[in-house]
Structure 1
Amino acid sequence: MNVDMRLHPRVEVDLPAELEPFRGDCLDVRVIHLSLSGVLVEGNAELEALLGARPGVAAGAPLELNLHFGLEQESVHCHCRMIHSRRLAQDRFQVGMKILSIPNASQGLLSRYIAAQMN
């Protein structure tokens, strides 16, 4: 028996998004799982390079990024911390992130979107 013990339910989606590191250019990714507390994004080899190349950051320090994506013709912007990553194929990677902060308007939009997807 597989019981989901998550605090917030997640939904499967396929949304274009941008990851914005504090240093460097934005990176195109896809949001594939979405909840009120976190996201799972998928990207190509550029995502792996972003995870590996962190000049000026102490080894083992958490990686924090800004994530931008659209829902219902509105933009969602959130500040996230990387929780885990995994390689799916030679050029396909996934990164799970916890949402650390999100504006109230974006949180309301996210909440309504997830509720609608679950019905």
Structure 2
Amino acid sequence: MRSILIIIVLSTIAQLFLPWWIIAPVTFGICWWLSQSSGRAFLEGFAGIALVWLVYALWLHIRTDGILTGRMSQLLFKADLPVVLLLLTPVIGGLVGGLAGMAGYQVRRALR
């Protein structure tokens, strides 16, 4: 739980100033430092980043009255499916965070 909160805070702050992919080094470093197993590292990275991206996607959806997500879903899926976009966004971010977290744990383990 502590790792997830640290991932949420640091990745949110980092994404304000840096590109989206900064989530990978942040999650890598935190899971390298704190995780206790490969599976937990993946779950902590996935949960931390997925929560950040879900909250941000919902915030944008509410702030634009669904116009942005509706148009993006039309662009990507050729259909008006903003709910699919809102569900797919945290999954993609979560996979990036989870794989980076698992890699961080595995690197630490390999260096021992």
TM-score by length of 2: 0.29
In terms of fraction of residues, the more helix-rich structure is: 2
In terms of fraction of residues, the more strand-rich structure is: 1
If you compute each CA radius of gyration, which structure gives the higher value, 1 or 2? Answer: 2
TM-score by length of 1: 0.28
